[in-house]
Structure 1
Amino acid sequence: MPTRRKLLATVATAGLASISGCTTAYGRMSPSCSQATADAGPTTTPRPVADDVTMFRRGLRRWGYYPEATVPSDVQVDWSVPVNGIGHTAAKSTPRPMPDGETILVASDTGEIHAVTPEGENRWTLETGAGVGPGSLGFHGTPAVVGDTAYVGGYDGALYAVDVEAGELTWRTGAREFGGSIAIGSSPAYIDGALYILAEYSNPASGALWEIDARTGRPTWSDDDIWGMPHPSPAIDCDAGRLVTGSNDGVVYCWEFPSLERAWTFQAGGEDGPDGEEMADGAFTLGAEIKGTTPVYDGAAFVGSWDGRFYRLDLEDGREEWSFDTGRVIMSNPALDPEGGVVYVGSDDNHVYALDTDTGEQLWSANVGGTVIGSLTATAETILVGSYDTHLYALDRETGERRWRVENRGHVTGGAIPRDGRIYYSERGVFSNYWDDDEETVLEERGHAYCLVADD
């Protein structure tokens, strides 16, 4: 059976040399963690890499935590713009405010990137080509922003750098340069001039972690020894010296950081793997897929699996410290409140759970009327979560009681971002006959990006 290493060895990527599943190029220089750890304040605050950097789940640790944000007691829709039009059920891109808050970036599943003011005025729309061709799925990852440049991977297997001021493409690293990748669904992590993304491959179903020079788009390192097609975004804990992600094989992969030597792996669903369909000629079995991004906190990684369980894993050696069973698929991106020691996760059982990070004890649960496959957001008093029932919910952070909900058009699968008294999020398009194999699927209405404000 071919391995990812053998497949990449056949690709003419100049200057690459394969070593035990990893490739290095152009005299790789290990990034420094000093910027992410120095002068960052107490460990309970989100760690920005720098003032001009922002990324998915707010930072390298992927907490989705906004302790300074206050969610209004009642809200109304200030504006919405149509963005999404593809039926793919994966979570949609989360709107990403620029560090100065003056521009909101929305990457759509049609391959467009929209720049919108906080008042809803369109600054520009960039057609990238990521949505061109039959079966194209555009963007599902969220841009990482460094200064005036936004970085986002597409379902065409390419990575894009965009000049936000000009609304123009700076560079594009194509699928061929990533060893023939078919998709990049993960959102980039950025540190010290380097980007980290997961790329997906077919025949066999597999993946690779890539390091890219953010200035040039040139790949500088990769580890292709990953099975399944990995969707999560890599999380980096500079204090623990670890980079963590999961994949569709139900495995959590961990590397030492910044050396990128493999540290450990953890198989969800039991030692022999979950029951289900064998993939890649038996290299792995479906049933415990890990789709959600893994926040890292307190020397641990927190990960949900399609085996129905939510795990706390020791970052040092991958040992399971506890698990919580929801009985249904977990594919959402959890939010983590480090001050309270609570992690919030959504499940396909239509519930959001608040769990004690130390023990895994359930503190509360709340029914949100539909499955949760997108990102949860924790604020000072509120948990924001989108549901398949077409609503965005605001739940009390202490009790889980509903504060309000807003009805939308399609399934709400993009994360909600609070910024300067506004809340931004996106939804999937509205389709008919989507699950009917005998009828043509029809897009009834584009999915929108929304801005909510206080209803005075």
Structure 2
Amino acid sequence: MHEPVADRRDGGSTRKSHDASSERPDRTAVGTGVSRRLLLRAAGASGIVGLAGCIGRQYRSPPDCDPVAADAATGDGYVPLPADDDISMFRRGLRRYGYYPDEVVPSSVRVDWSVPVNRIGHTAAKSTPRPTPDGETILIASDTGHVHAVEPDGDHRWQIETGAARSLGFHGTPTIVEDTAYIGGYDGELYAIDIATGDRIWHTRTREFGDAIAIGSSPAYVDGNLYLLTEHKNPASGALWEVDAETGNPTWSDDRIWGMPHPSPAIDCEAGRLVTGSNDGVVYCWEFPSLEFAWSFQAGGGGGPDGESMADGTFRLGAQIKGTIPVYDGGAFAGSWDGRFYRLDLADGSEEWSVDTGDVVMSNPAVDPDEGIVYVGGDDHYVRALDTATGDELWSTNVGGHIIGSLTATAETILVGSYDTHLYALDRTTGEPRWRVENRGHVTSGAIPRDGRIYYAERGVFTNYYDEDEETVLEEPGRAYCLVSAE
């Protein structure tokens, strides 16, 4: 079966949607579940022909999505799985709402504790601290390739270093299933970590993902399977993968994606769709759980110099889609570097409405499914509350800096980090600031409320980062914070 690994244990104008194959080379996954390009690349690197490093496993068993769809239809729509008490993932659930209706944000806060974690100048948003389902452990993945396990009072349980320390570390957020955390690194490898001890249960090698150079995507989990995106170079491209969570074996992939994709896949089991985006400015959609390709949508953008394409395919520079795309009420909500925020029809990918923000949009939006409101931030410094059905703006608030991380919706409050080094709490109804907390670096992780505490992380503080003629200097490491009520 799987090759041995030392630490394994057994285991705007309207743009119509189009099929990517109509304008791009044939990059569709072959029937065995692995694309020809990835298969040949892996064979050339390792001298064997197999399923991303796993010989003999040529067929997938589609996950059972019916229980998830039933819960979504009868419940509040944001539950990740029926076993809600055992699962915790980025943006809270498969639909990636970032919605915590039972959490109440204090009217005033203070820093209870902080710990230095981030030391790399890479401008991608930082990993969001992730509480375990019981709330007794908070996992913090850093851009140094370390993972920290911290108790709610700030005491360290353990810290481990991974192979991602040789790269740009972690920017995705752990997915937690029972006693195991799953996270991909900028070394192109996927790690399964025992939450109680910090031991690695298994981790993949880059050749098992077709020589991936990075994984910035946070995995989605359904019925024993993980879904994530990998990044590749020569050409600049990406792939969507299904991975057996117990063994780490890839069971299916599709490498039709151009550009290096950063978003985390969103899954709507009720609608039968999996959606993601990439740096080519395209939203890609597959049927779920069959994983037959459904449609694609190309956002705008200026194109490259003189309008040339990159990587042998349409590549709209200036239209990058870096934020995770939540799915709600038959729609997919995507922000683009073309300055627009889109609602696309989940059925066919057609544009239902879009809003011109005037600047880059790359944050992860939050959705309130009870009120039908989506909250999004952009490089124009504004947080906007938009009606999900019409795109009408309900309010907008300037938070003093670029917004590239995740917005979080709670019972009464929107939590959002800004480049101006503050974390903001905005009134969910009016957008008025309730409070803000000053930090050291840009606040680019999501803020997670849990049991009266709020967890988030910032970037390190650098000088000369954008000056090619001067040495970049880390002045202060970025820290992960825990806020509590000041009352």
**TM-score with structure 2 length normalisation?**
0.89
From 118, 138, 145, the counterpart of 2:152: 118
Q: 1:44: Cα distance to partner? A: 3.1
Match of 2:30 in 1: none
Q: 1:15: Cα distance to partner? A: 3.6
* Unmatched 5+ stretches in structure 2: 1-23, 28-34
Mapped contact 1:84–1:429 kept (Cα < 8 A): yes
How big is each residue's C-alpha offset from its partner over 1:357-395, in whole Å with a ceiling of 9 and x where there is no partner? 000000000000000000000001000000000000000
Residue 168 (1) aligns with residue 199 (2): yes
Q: Which has a greater percent of helix?
A: 2
Task: Provide the rounded CA distance (Å) in 1 between the counterparts of 2:73 and 2:411.
Answer: 18
Match of 1:412 in 2: 443
Residue 9 (1) aligns with residue 39 (2): yes
Match of 2:140 in 1: 106
Match of 2:456 in 1: 425
Match of 1:276 in 2: 304
Mapped contact 1:97–1:105 kept (Cα < 8 A): yes
Matched residue SS, 1:220: strand
Number of residue pairs matched by the alignment: 445
Task: Provide the rounded CA distance (Å) in 2 between the counterparts of 1:331 and 1:254.
Answer: 19
Which stretch has the larger CA shift, 25-34 or 223-232?
25-34
Match of 1:27 in 2: 59
Match of 2:272 in 1: 241
Which stretch has the larger CA shift, 29-38 or 170-179?
29-38
Mapped contact 2:376–2:384 kept (Cα < 8 A): yes
How big is each residue's C-alpha offset from its partner over 1:380-431, in whole Å with a ceiling of 9 and x where there is no partner? 1000000000000000000000000000010000000000000000000000
Amino acid at match of 2:179: D
From 418, 431, 438, the counterpart of 1:400: 431
| Change over 3 Å in CA distance of 1:301–1:41 after alignment to 2 | closer
Matched residue SS, 2:324: coil
Residue 343 (1) aligns with residue 371 (2): no
Task: Provide the rounded CA distance (Å) in 1 between the counterparts of 2:324 and 2:163.
Answer: 26
Mapped contact 1:248–1:289 kept (Cα < 8 A): yes
Match of 2:283 in 1: 252
Q: 1:34: Cα distance to partner? A: 2.5
Q: 1:280: Cα distance to partner? A: 1.6
From 267, 290, 297, the counterpart of 2:298: 267
Matched residue SS, 2:274: strand
Mapped contact 1:35–1:192 kept (Cα < 8 A): no
Mapped contact 2:126–2:459 kept (Cα < 8 A): yes
How big is each residue's C-alpha offset from its partner over 1:43-94, in whole Å with a ceiling of 9 and x where there is no partner? 4342121220110000000000000000000000000000000000000000
Match of 2:384 in 1: 353
Residue 85 (1) aligns with residue 119 (2): yes
Mapped contact 1:279–1:286 kept (Cα < 8 A): no
Task: Provide the rounded CA distance (Å) in 1 between the counterparts of 2:39 and 2:147.
Answer: 33
Mapped contact 1:188–1:196 kept (Cα < 8 A): yes
Matched residue SS, 1:452: strand
Matched residue SS, 1:285: coil
- Identity within the alignment, %: 73
Task: Provide the rounded CA distance (Å) in 2 between the counterparts of 1:239 and 1:361.
Answer: 26
Task: Provide the rounded CA distance (Å) in 1 between the counterparts of 2:51 and 2:289.
Answer: 19
Q: 1:284: Cα distance to partner? A: 1.6
Match of 2:486 in 1: 455
Match of 1:21 in 2: none
Matched residue SS, 1:130: helix
| Change over 3 Å in CA distance of 1:3–1:88 after alignment to 2 | farther
